[in-house]
Chain A
Amino acid sequence: MDFNVIIMQLFTGLSLGMLYVLLALGLSIIFGLLTVVNFAHGSMYMWGAFVGVFTVAWTGNFWAALVLAPLGVGLYGLVIERWLIRPLYGRDINYPLLLTFGLQLIMIEVVRIFFGTSDHPFSAPALLSMPLEVMGIFYFPAYRVFLIVFTAVICFVLWFFLEKTDLGLIIRAGTRDPLMVRALGIDMNLIWWLVFGIGSALAGLAGILAAPIRSVYPEMGIAMLVECFVVTVVGGMGSLPGAIVAGILLGIVSSLTTLVYPQMADIVIFLVMAVVLLVRPSGLFGKAGLLE
């Protein structure tokens, strides 16, 4: 096998993995702090793409869409948390799970009713739509390079926020012992609210970033959600470094599988999950004790 092909394959895997990373980060941050398994995450991803499509249709500006999509979906997340999920805190983990599962179906149906079931065209901005020549015979889209760099920046910002700011400190403390944080006079409701908003915004961001690459249609989040659950389980439920490592790992594994045995490309991530769960039942970076 040509060495250049393998290098190219790693890059395509990386760009595929970056979408997993963004979505899995959102899922993980919500789960890690709120113990809410957000089944509406895939639909939020889809909504992000649709907000993007319509922002670009109205303003013609991709960069405006890149801001509005996470903002819009983030605000929607705030509304959902405040009035639907908050009343369910303190109950069994299945309550918010079923609620968000239902929300997912409603969100898809709403889009079907208003925008139909067909695909919506969406292109990368002109600046990023030219293919870059690599190693003489290959091309790699500038947009995917942007996607990789941009996601890396988002990961860094998120890390900086959680590790280096006061608010991040409170969030981390809240993950370990919400009761104690509350005893210190901090309103945990506000923190959970904020975190759910951030997680939703990340889903919306993944949606707008995926729109120039994939087809934009109401059910686009369903398969993606299943894949991202695999990523979070492999990385360890609730672990942010886990989401990043597992996202990139699964992107690359699935890309390399395409090279040697493409018919398996769909299934291989589930195989990886099975193996990881056998060796490390709580995932690569899973915290022992969570959900046990």
Chain B
Amino acid sequence: MPEHQKGKGKGVSRRTFFKTTGVAAGAAALGGFHFVRKSQAASGPLKLGCPLPLTGPYGTEALDQQAGAALAVAEVNKNGGVLGRKVELVVRDTKLKADEAARRAKELIESVKVELMTGCLSAANQLAVNEQCKLVGMPYMSISQSNEITERRDASVYTYHEALDPHTTTQAVGKWAAQKFGKRWYFLTSDYAFGWQLTDGFRRVGKMFGVQDVGETKHPLGTADFSSYFPRIMAAKPDVLIIDNFGKDQLNTIKQATSFGLKKKIQLLCPVLLASARLGAGTAAYEGVVGGTSFYWEQNHPTAKKFVAAFQKANGRPPIDYAGYAYSGVLELLNGVNRAGKLDALALATAIENRNYDNYKGKQWWRPCDHQSQQDVFILRSKTPKKKYDVFEIIDTVSGANEALLRTCVELGHKPGVPNRTGLKK
């Protein structure tokens, strides 16, 4: 074997080195290379597109959504499918980036030839997918939180929003917290639309109860270490720290806040308390943490029990967090087409609007003016589990009936009581 020379004088310039290292580091940061799969043209089964942020800080919740959507599709197929056709769920990874979400949606529409769309987590992703769907007049069932999606600019006859929105969430959780906890509130806000809207919503509801806003810190989405945010929060001496973030950000915030002793003097409150984050952080970290949710699997309600049993059978675990949105949203979309009797966006809208339903957790209602699903919000407290996944207890229910938690149609730029026909393609 020839004597091998090491590094020095090997003719690698710093420039070349940084170039290759930079490219590789960039690719690593973007989650590696990926290859676009060519898909066949539509024939036979009805394809339901479902872009989700499977990789990235919301990956765990996205997987839960995927499982929920798959369960709904399986149930519809068992009952004869949609208009006699089998339904096929086609999932794509958006990597939690809006441009990627738009590309994936476009690919699903143009190459995969999906005929209905659902999916997404994070507001920017949803709006990007919604935009693509509106362009071609395809019904889209959005299954995660967003304020904009029901506002005049983004809402359309094709757009449906099964999930809660930051406004509803904060009205419910804020009202509840203002009556139970102290009045000095500090906000830790994820620095993008979702976080801003949560904080705005809490400020709005806080004002009604004489809450004092003692400070806000914004953090970049996907922060791994929150410790450097805590000294300022501790110095502000709040009664309540409102954690307006999601996914691994929530997990890391609470895990680290607990180790920094924040809970000794401050109540931690999450507008969207996640079982996934709670499971990833452990019992001790979440002890005493309170928050809101759209659904919790141990809920004592007939449709909830049925949904949880079916989900458990298919996945070997109960649904956590966002599976319910996907399950219910996909059922609404597919059963809506069956009720309409044809695959037509206008007929579907008529079949869904003003409908009362209870797919998995209690009474819901489709408001015609903005296609928002009216629903209750539950208040949870973290507890010591008796078995795995038994992580929260429901300590209160804030009723959403009579549009109590929704913004008014007028406020959103719609005519009250009139079905939304914005953007209808003739």
A290 and B7 within 8 A (CB): yes
Decide: B10 and A93 in contact? CB cutoff 8 A.
yes
Interface residues of B in 215-262 (CB under 8 A from A): 217-220, 222-225, 227-232, 234-235, 237, 248, 251-252, 255-256, 259-262
Q: In the complex, what's the smallest C-beta–C-beta distance from B245 to chain A, in angstroms?
A: 13
Encoded as 1 (CB less than 8 Å from any A CB) or 0, chain B from 17 to 34 comes to: 100110011011101100
Whether B223 contacts A289 by the Cβ 8 Å rule is no
A215 proximal to B (CB < 8 A):
yes
**Is B13 engaged at the interface, CB distance under 8 Å to the other chain?**
yes
Size range of the chain A interface in the assembly: 35 or more
Contacting pair A8 B223 (CB below 8 A): no
Cβ of A131 within 8 Å of any chain B Cβ, yes or no, is yes
CA distance A259 to B256 in the complex (A): 17
**CB atoms of A131 and B260 under 8 A apart:** yes
B14 near A222: Cβ-Cβ < 8 Å: no
CB of B135 within 8 Å of the partner chain:
no
Cβ of B284 under 8 Å from chain A: yes
* Stretch in B178-186, B274-282, B404-412 touching the partner: B274-282
Check: A54 CB closer than 8 A to any chain B CB.
no
Q: How far is the CA of A144 from the CA of B223 in the complex (A)?
A: 18
Which residues of chain A come closer than 8 Å to B8, judged between CB atoms?
A: 35, 289-290
Closest to B18 in A: A233
Asked if A9 meets B231 with Cβ closer than 8 Å, knowing A93-B12, A93-B17, A226-B25, the reply is yes
Task: Judge whether A200 is part of the interface by a CB distance below 8 angstroms.
Answer: no
Shortest beta-carbon distance, A152 to chain B, in Å?
A: 18
* Inter-subunit contact B228/A219 (CB<8 Å): no
B293 CB-CB contact with A under 8 Å? no
The answer to the question of B4 belonging to the interface, with a C-beta cut-off of 8 Å to chain A, is: yes
Query: Does B28 lie within 8 Å of A42, measured CB to CB?
Result: yes
Complex interface: chain A residues within 8 A of B248 (CB): 119, 215, 217
CB of A172 within 8 Å of the partner chain: no
* B285 contacts partner chain A, Cβ-Cβ < 8 Å: yes
- B28: A residues at CB distance < 8 A: 39, 42, 101, 104, 222, 225-226
Within 8 A of B (CB), among A222-240: 222-226, 229
Residue numbers in A under 8 Å from B17 (CB-CB) = 37, 93, 291
A35 with B282: CB separation less than 8 A: no
Are A89 and B4 in contact (CB-based, < 8 A)?
Answer: yes
B286 to chain A, nearest CB (A): 10
Binds B, one of A74-82, A134-142, A159-167, A201-209: A134-142
Measured between beta carbons, the chain A residues less than 8 angstroms from B78 are none
Give the residues in chain B near A93, CB-CB below 8 Å: 7, 10, 12, 17
Q: Is the CB of A121 within 8 A of B29?
A: no
Whether B6 and A118, one on each chain, are in contact in the complex, defined by CB atoms closer than 8 angstroms, is no
- Could you say which residues of chain A place their CB within 8 Å of the CB of B279? 118-119, 121
A13 part of interface (Cβ distance < 8 Å): yes
User: In the docked arrangement, what's the CA distance between A139 and B257, Å?
Assistant: 10
Contact B31 A219 (CB under 8 A): yes
Give which listed residue, B3, B13, B228, B283, contacts A16 with CB less than 8 A: B228
Q: Check A119 against B264 for contact (C-beta < 8 Å).
A: no
For B252, list chain A residues within 8 Å (CB). 214-215
Cα distance, A42 to B27, chains bound together (Å): 14
**Which residues of the partner chain A approach B4 to less than 8 Å between Cβ atoms?**
89-90
Nearest residue in B to A100 (C-beta to C-beta)?
A: B24
Decide: A179 and B3 in contact? CB cutoff 8 A: yes
Interface segment, one of A63-71, A241-249, A262-270: A262-270
The answer to whether A223 and B7 have CB atoms under 8 Å apart is no
A255 at the interface (CB under 8 A from B): yes
Residue from B17, B21, B32, B231 whose CB has the most chain A CB atoms within 10 Å: B231
Question: In the complex where A182-B3, A223-B222, A291-B7 touch, is A255 in contact with B228 (Cβ < 8 A)?
Answer: yes
B3 / chain A contacts, CB cutoff of 8 Å: 179, 182
Q: Give the Cβ gap from B265 to chain A, nearest Cβ, in Å.
A: 9
Nearest B residue to A286, CB-CB: B14
Closest chain B residue, CB of each to CB of A238? B7
Contacts from A to B (Cβ < 8 Å): 2, 4-5, 8-9, 12-13, 15-16, 33-35, 37, 39, 42, 89-90, 92-94, 97-98, 101, 104-105, 108, 117-124, 129, 131, 133, 137-141, 143-144, 178-179, 182, 212-217, 219-220, 222-226, 229, 254-256, 258-259, 262-263, 265-266, 281-282, 289-292
Contacts A121-B279, A263-B220 aside, 13 further interface pairs with beta carbons under 8 A come to A121-B283, A122-B282, A131-B264, A133-B261, A137-B235, A138-B231, A143-B259, A144-B227, A178-B6, A215-B251, A222-B28, A266-B220, A291-B13
Q: Which 7 A-B pairs have the closest CB atoms?
A: A119-B280, A35-B7, A139-B261, A90-B4, A131-B261, A121-B282, A8-B231
